[in-house]
Structure 1
Amino acid sequence: MAYDEVLAERVRDLLEEDCEVVAKKMFGGLVFTVRGNTAVGVVDDELLVRVAPDDTPQALAQPGARPFEVRGRISKGWVIVAGEVLDDDVLDNWLKLGREAPAGLPPK
C-alpha cells in the first residue's frame, strides 16, 4: 500500500523543527514518532492521528474524521482524517493534537 508522498512531505515540513520526531514506514504508510511513540502518520492519502482518550469525541466530530479501523476493529485513540480536508491550517491543528497525545508517554 502506497502513501501520499506530497502529504507526507507537508507533514514532515511542519514537524521538522522538533528533533525528537522520526519518520518510519509502518501500517502500510509513513508514521512520525515523537520520542519513539507514534503521533501521526500518512496512510494512502489520509492522515492517521493519535488522540488522547478525552479528545476522541471532539476529534471525531471534525470534518473528514472517522475512527481508525484495523481488520474490522476500531483502534481506540486513533483517528483517520480524509486528505481532501487537510488544508494548511487544518493539517497544522491535527498535527498539534497528534503531538499532544503521546506527550505523557514514556520514551521508547
Structure 2
Amino acid sequence: MAWDLGLAQMLRDDLAELDITEQKMFGGLAFLWNGHMVCGVHKGGALFRVGKDHSAKAQSIQGVGPMMFTGRPMKSMVECSAEACADDQRRGQLMTMAMATVRALPPKA
C-alpha cells in the first residue's frame, strides 16, 4: 500500500462523526463529505483541501506546504508531512480549515 495506514486511520477517526466516504485518488486515499474531498493520505503524508482563503495560514503551520500536482501548486490544497499530521493540534487546525472550506460548497448531486 502506498500510504500510511495509521495516518489514514487518524483522519478517519477525526471525521468519524460525519457521513464520510472514502475513494482511492491521487495514488492514495481521499475522504469526501457531500461528494467533496476534505483530505486524504498519500505516500509521505496527507493533503487537506483548505481553500484559497486559508492556504497561507495553513502553510504557516510547521510541516505544511503547497500541494504540488504535475509540477504545479494546487492553490486550494496543502500537503502535510506524516510527522506534522501525527501532532493532534496541527492536524486539527488543518481539518478545521478543510471542513470550513467544504461546508461552504453545495452538495454534489
TM-score of the superposition, structure 1-length normalised? 0.91
Partner of 1:36: 35
Output the CA distance in 1 between the equivalents of 2:92 and 2:43.
19
Runs of 4+ in 1 over 6 A off after TM superposition: none
Q: Which SS does the other structure have where 1:77 is aligned?
A: strand
Q: Deviations over 1:43-99 (max 9, x none)?
A: 113110001212111111110111111111111100001111221222222222211
Partner of 1:81: 80
Contact persistence 1:23–1:33 (CA under 8 A) = yes
Partner of 2:5: 5
Higher helix share: 1
TM superposition shift of 1:102: 1.3
Structure 1 portions without partners, runs of 5+? none
**1:1-108 correspondence to structure 2 within 5 Å:** 2-19=2-19, 21-86=20-85, 87-108=87-108
What CA RMSD, in Å, does the superposition of the two structures yield over aligned residues?
A: 1.3
Q: Which SS does the other structure have where 2:54 is aligned?
A: helix
Contact persistence 2:64–2:84 (CA under 8 A) = no
Output the CA distance in 2 between the equivalents of 1:14 and 1:75.
24
Q: Give the letter for the 1:60 counterpart.
A: Q
Q: Which SS does the other structure have where 1:3 is aligned?
A: coil
Structure 2 portions without partners, runs of 5+? none
Q: What is the percentage of aligned positions where both structures have the same residue?
A: 35
Q: Give the letter for the 1:83 counterpart.
A: A
Output the CA distance in 2 between the equivalents of 1:56 and 1:101.
11
Contact persistence 2:47–2:79 (CA under 8 A) = yes
